[in-house]
Chain A
Amino acid sequence: MKSEIKGSQAFSYVEVELAPDEVIVTESDAMSSMDADIELKARLNGGLFKGLLRKYLGGESLFVNHFSNPTNTPKKMTIVQGTPGEICHRKLDDEVYYLQPGAFIACSPGITLGLEFAGLVSFISREGLFRLKMSGSGDLYFGAYGALLEREVDGEYIVDSSHLVAYEPGIKLKLQLAGGIFSSLFGGEGLVTRVEGKGKIIIQSRSITGLAGWLNPKF
């Protein structure tokens, strides 16, 4: 599958070229334009019960769309995300990758979307009680509000809650206060996520809470 991420970091989109008989799975409403020959099938996101779980707990849609190319020539389509912000591509090679709820955009059919209990720690630090577990091989597209930055973690690293987007399975999440009790209450940092282990994490450079905090007093 040929693909290219275009647009600025503010409004990224993915241009995908589907070879004959190729399929791409996208989140519902992620397609913004495509050649008329591409076929669409809406499928339940891995069975009704799992789909419902994923919708209510994983921040994803109940249905996912399967786009396929039944013709003999390559066809193009454009995939977007709902939030303003950057889109990232990652090639999985028989491995596991974790995404925060809502970050998934599209993947090739070789990747299975699963939902996993992320633990109470993740919930308290406002990263969501569940996380999306992507496993298998193929291309994966995910995005979030803000620019996406990669950080190499070896040991420990602190990430403010609601800035974590994706991480490798070698990473564990823990909870801690940003400073002392006083600092945590008045410094606006509160609880932070302590990321432990070895691997790469993706963070978003803006958070919706930051945006709301800036914007709401102005209305």
Chain B
Amino acid sequence: MHTTYNVVITGKLAAGADKTAAINAFGALFKLSPEKSQSVFNKAPVAVKSNTDKTTAEKFYRAISKTGLECRVVDATAGDTPAVSQGQKDTPASSPAAPAATTDNDTPVTFKGFSYKIEGRPDYSFLTVEIPANETLKVEASAMATMDTHLVMKTKLKGGFGRFLTGESLFLNEFSAANGAAEIGIAPGTPGDLVHQHLDGQTLFLQNSAFVAATMDVNLDTKWQGMLKGFFSGESFFLIRASGKGDLWFNSYGAIIEIDVEDDYVVDTSNIVAFTEGLEYEITKVGGYKSLFLSGEGFVCRFKGKGKVWIQTRNAQAFTSWAHFFRPVKSKK
């Protein structure tokens, strides 16, 4: 199972880059006429280099990034480029200005944090992180699937009393690479997607069950959503607040779509995975009271402001209510 990588330009610009200048620089890099490079850019997302090895892909990534065009390195075998581009097309009124936090969803290598790769996306995503010597990684309890023998595991209490109330595991495992770099494979229990986010001072709110792993400089604490929001959100009363600097990985049931919120955006309460700080949200109904009860949509979460929201394409309650009918056992009273 030798993995190859594609270098894909996303059709977006890096922060602060001028479009014409970036396209010309890109054209100069690949020895294309300005018209030609413009048409390549218009066709984005498009792979500029396919089925290459990791080192070459990284070289291309760096060169293209310098031109001011946003590009990413994609696992060629996973074939999930269309899904990503679709998610971006769904974005309402997307502007070329890149937002503060960028997800390198498909990038098998990080350029700032720990190097990692995600395999088996989006159905059964499996995260492999390379922990450098003397570094530590925080991992959700019982999510470790494989590891090098010299990793040392320590169990810590996490999140305090809030975690206890929500039925999540109270504990968190810390894996330290005491004697040299080591590799750890992480498999969350939920079938579904996994997303990486590099935090650089931003704050992210995660649904309580979404946390997978984080580096030590990412602070995790629980935030009480408030009685009303918590009650209607269909998830739990608590959110995980991730802040600080470092890598963060989170997962969900179903595939994950990243959405840039510019103004107002409505998400079904049970489909929220994560959102950036600065977005205001309120729980509302979509239509009048009649539609509230008859449409099956129930309550929704209305986000306001500028930021990012990650949504999941399936939700657990819908799955359980579908599957429950086929379960021979009596449900718990």
Contact = CB atoms under 8 A, between A and B. Distances in A.
B120 A205 contact: yes
A207 interface: yes
A178 B144 contact: yes
Interface stretch (A37-45, A62-70, A131-139, A145-153): A145-153
A85 interface: yes
A31 B187 CA distance: 30
A182 B155 contact: yes
B41 to A, nearest CB: 31
A187 B317 contact: no
Nearest to A203: B146
Contacts of A180: 154
B269 interface: no
Interface residues of A, number: 42
Nearest to B149: A156
Nearest to A178: B153
A163 B124 CA distance: 13
Nearest to B153: A179
Interface residues of B, number: 42
Contacts of A159: 145-146
B124 A203 contact: no
Contacts of A219: 320, 324, 327, 331-332
A189 B119 contact: no
Interface stretch (A92-100, A103-111, A209-217): A209-217
A8 interface: yes
A205 B155 CA distance: 23
A194 B119 CA distance: 22
Given A8-B123, A163-B146, A207-B189, 15 more contacts: A9-B124, A85-B124, A86-B124, A146-B120, A157-B146, A178-B144, A183-B153, A183-B173, A189-B142, A189-B173, A205-B126, A205-B145, A206-B189, A218-B320, A219-B327
Interface of A: 8-10, 84-86, 146-147, 149-151, 155-160, 163, 178-180, 182-183, 186-189, 192, 194, 203, 205-207, 209-211, 213-215, 217-219
17 contacts: A149-B1, A151-B146, A159-B146, A178-B144, A178-B153, A183-B154, A187-B141, A187-B173, A189-B142, A203-B185, A205-B120, A205-B126, A209-B189, A214-B253, A215-B320, A218-B317, A219-B324
